Amino acid sequence: MARYFDVHPDNPQKRSIGQVVDLVRGGGLIAYPTDSCYALGCQLGNADGMARIKTIRHLDDRHHFTLVCRDFQQLGQFVYLDNAVFRAIKAATPGSYTFILPATKEVPRKLQHAKKKTVGVRIPEHTVTQAIVEELGEPIVSSTLLLPDDEEPMTVGWEIKERLDHVVDAVIDSGDCGTEPTTVIDFSDGTAELVREGAGDPSRFIG
């Protein structure tokens, strides 16, 4: 049975955030809110957690997981950026964007796209997400909480608790969160390619 954390959206309780992070460090899988709907998340290097995400969402090995980062400095440890891409992404973060970029050696091979050696990264504009990542001290390996038979991602904490009670270890509820997935921009070859249009305005990258 999943633990249920009712967390204040603007002033997250330190005790609750600490308990969530302890679960993540202990190999747990969490469902947590972001500025772009809910996500499933686990610790970097947690192969079992990634396998559980794939099972819940019916994903194959081509799926791009996302590293949800605290800030731009942390993001820069895990992906390569040239100056032009750096400026473009920096101007749009934090926000509802996921960027696909070449992975550094800090990214476990299982997280990288098998052929392209890329990984998705993002910096969300959500107080609770930021609190979790800051306390954890490293990115959360994440995937949008979109179930196989659903047309839209999940956005309501108590509904997630009801539906995923026996397949996740914790659900974090902080009230309203984003209702659209992120806009995904592929910068892996140095130019912007729109992969998915979502909550973020793609026009700032795609002319």
pTM (two decimals): 0.94
Sheet of 66-68, strand order: 3-6, 170-173, 30-33, 38-43, 140-144, 66-68, 118-122, 97-102, 183-186, 193-196
Listing DSSP states for 41-93 in one string gives EEETT-HHHHHHHHHHHT--TT---EEE-SSHHHHTTTB---HHHHHHHHTT-
Q: Nearest 5 degrees, angle CA 135-CA 97-CA 26?
A: 30
Burial class (CB in 10 A: 0-12, 13-18, 19+), 25: middle
Tokens of residue 95, six digits? 């926000």
Q: Which contiguous run of DSSP H or E holds residue 102? A: strand 97-102
pLDDT in the model for residue 178: 84
* Helix/strand number for the chain, H first, E second: 6, 10
pLDDT in the model for residue 123: 97
User: One-letter amino acid identity for 43?
Assistant: Q
pLDDT in the model for residue 61: 77
CA–CA separation, 108 and 100 (whole Å): 15
Domain-by-domain residue ranges, the chain?
3-204
Instruction: State the chain's maximal CA–CA distance in angstroms.
Output: 48
For the chain, 207 residues long, give each residue's pLDDT as a single digit of tens. 999 999 999 999 999 999 999 999 999 999 999 999 999 999 999 999 999 999 999 998 778 899 999 999 999 999 999 999 999 999 999 999 999 999 999 998 888 887 889 999 999 999 999 999 999 999 999 999 999 989 889 899 999 999 999 999 999 999 988 889 999 999 999 999 999 999 999 999 986
pLDDT in the model for residue 176: 82
The dotted CATH code for 3-204 is: 3.90.870.10
